[in-house]
């Protein structure tokens, strides 16, 4: 699926952060995606606003392992935000929907990657807004428990074994 993807770095405030989670994705005529950096002090947030977008998709990160493998093997890893230069998705979409090219011939295939989600957006432009720090009492965003500290290795191994066992049991 990704074999022919060519990507370029999309310079954003979150491109090089080590940990990101999606706080919200709101599609109400404009697409607003709020991202938090949970490991930074005060948990800063940014909003990505796409005011014209014919399509987007949000896929769980664990179903994008082929993408990470391709980017690693082709030496194209370039951060949490990037653009697919020769997007097969845009080409396919435009061939199926000829009106799309008339509506907006300048689509860009944006990708935002977080710990839990990979969000792909087809849009001509985006506005990125710094929202400030997260309220101290607001619960942390995100869908999964992620162990960061190497001393947590025992917990990681235990969680991995539980996943393997549950998969074995579900197949029986």
22-53 pLDDT, tens digit per residue, is 999 999 989 999 999 998 888 999 999 999 89
pLDDT for 101: 67
- Please state, in angstroms and rounded to a whole number, the distance separating the CA atoms of residues 124 and 54: 10
Q: What is the pLDDT of residues 114-123, one digit of tens each?
A: 989 999 999 9
Residue 33 has a CB neighbour count (10 Å cut-off) of 25
- Please state, in angstroms and rounded to a whole number, the distance separating the CA atoms of residues 45 and 25: 13
Return the exposure string of 58-85: e unless at least 16 CB atoms fall within 10 Å of the residue's CB, then b: eeebeebeebeebbeeeebebbbbbebe
* Residues whose CB is less than 8 angstroms from the CB of residue 117 and which lie 6 or more positions away in sequence, other chains included: 22, 58, 59, 60, 61, 143
pTM for the model? 0.78
Per DSSP, 129 falls in state E
Q: What is the pLDDT of residues 66-75, one digit of tens each?
A: 888 888 888 8
Residue pair 126/48 in contact by the 8 Å Cβ criterion: yes
Decide if pLDDT at 103 tops 70: no
Question: 81 forms bridges with which residues in the sheet?
Answer: 112
Q: Quick one: CA torsion of 70, 76, 82, 84, rounded to 10 degrees?
A: -60
Residue pair 18/40 in contact by the 8 Å Cβ criterion: no
Q: What are phi and psi of 148, to 5 degrees?
A: -105, -35
């Amino acid at each position: 699926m990704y074999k022919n993807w060519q990507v370029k770095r999309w310079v954003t405030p979150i491109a090089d952060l080590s940990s990101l989670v999606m706080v919200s994705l709101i599609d109400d005529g404009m697409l607003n995606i709020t991202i938090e950096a949970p490991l930074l002090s005060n948990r800063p947030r940014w909003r990505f606003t796409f005011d014209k977008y014919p399509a987007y998709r949000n896929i769980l990160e664990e179903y994008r392992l082929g993408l990470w493998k391709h980017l690693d093997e082709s030496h194209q890893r370039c951060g949490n935000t990037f653009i697919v230069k020769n997007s097969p998705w845009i080409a396919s979409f435009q061939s199926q929907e000829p009106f799309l090219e008339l509506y907006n011939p300048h689509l860009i295939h944006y990708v935002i990657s977080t710990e839990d989600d990979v969000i792909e957006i087809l849009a001509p432009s985006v506005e990125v807004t710094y929202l400030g720090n997260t309220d101290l009492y607001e619960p942390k965003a995100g869908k999964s428990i992620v162990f960061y500290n190497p001393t947590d290795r025992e917990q990681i191994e235990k969680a991995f074994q539980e996943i393997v066992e549950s998969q074995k049991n579900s197949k029986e």
